[in-house]
């Protein structure tokens, strides 16, 4: 039995998120089904995080213990042969026995894409949020400075019954325009459920002039979820990479 580190990309459009769930189409479920056939026994694939329904990944890291004579390259090729077209295993490496994709992760990068141009791009339609109005990027950048740093992000989490600590450190929020696209990049030690999407919704509200610095600061200390902005749609979000020592 050996421990392996997988690097995976997927289009999350038709999946009910990463996490395996009964009677639901999930990314983890697809990976485990293929590996179970390959190994002749059930296996558990542990992801670095649990992306929500409709969220994509360019660089999800996972770990899995397998009993097989196949080389890492042969495992990769086997999985890609039988996985659906919207999931791809980019790399398989043998890892140390103690490597754990979730517990050993020290940081993550997410990207959120919006589009406010005059002509909608057809072939990217599953990967961006279409905006009806154009936000002010400078106002959003000013608001982003408030969200950066270590805060209690409980109001930026969709789960009101979160029992674990909701303190997270966000050390980078970059907002750039590329033609009709507005791209948000977030890096931090970790993110709560829907946290990036709520931060995007909050920043867009700031860009529209609907909320200001005082409201955002209040959202970080208030006990009311409604103090933060709305949750941006899932299709614009993509997990770019996971950091390890």
Active site residue 152: no
Of 11, 52, 69, 124, the active-site residue reads 52
Per the DSSP assignment, residues forming a β-bridge with 4 are: 64, 94
CA angle 200/112/176 to nearest 5° reads 90
> Per residue in 102-112, is it b (16+ CB within 10 Å) or e — as a string?
eebbeebbbbb
CA–CA separation, 48 vs 116, rounded Å? 32
| Whether 29 contacts 68, CB under 8 Å | no
The SS3 of residue 218 is: helix
d(CA 104, CA 109): 15
Give, for 178, the enclosing helix (H) or strand (E).
Answer: strand 167-178
Q: Is there a contact between 30 and 211 (Cβ–Cβ < 8 Å)?
A: no
* Phi/psi at 184 (5° precision): -100, 130
Contact present, 124 and 197 (Cβ < 8 Å): no
* Residues taking part in catalysis: 52
């Amino acid at each position: 039995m050996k421990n392996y580190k997988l690097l995976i990309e997927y289009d999350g459009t038709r999946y009910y998120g990463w996490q395996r769930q009964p009677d639901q189409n999930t990314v983890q479920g697809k990976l485990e089904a293929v590996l179970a056939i390959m190994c002749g026994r059930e296996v558990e694939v542990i992801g670095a995080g649990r992306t929500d329904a409709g969220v994509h990944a360019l660089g999800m890291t996972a770990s899995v213990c397998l009993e097989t004579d196949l080389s890492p390259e042969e495992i990769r090729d086997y999985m890609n042969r039988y996985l659906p077209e919207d999931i791809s295993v980019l790399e398989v490496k043998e890892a140390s026995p103690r490597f754990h994709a979730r517990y050993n992760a020290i940081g993550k990068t997410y990207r959120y894409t919006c589009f406010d141009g005059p002509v909608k791009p057809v072939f990217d339609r599953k990967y961006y949020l279409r905006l009806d109005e154009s936000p002010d990027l400078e106002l959003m950048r000013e608001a982003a400075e408030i969200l950066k740093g270590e805060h209690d992000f409980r109001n930026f989490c969709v789960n009101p019954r979160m029992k674990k600590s909701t303190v997270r450190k966000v050390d980078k929020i970059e907002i750039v325009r590329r033609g009709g696209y507005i791209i948000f990049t977030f890096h931090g030690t970790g993110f709560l459920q829907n946290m990036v999407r709520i931060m995007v919704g909050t920043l867009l509200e700031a860009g529209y002039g609907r909320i200001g610095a005082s409201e955002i600061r209040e959202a970080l200390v208030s006990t009311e979820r409604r103090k933060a902005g709305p949750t941006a749609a899932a299709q614009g979000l993509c997990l770019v990479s996971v950091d390890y020592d």
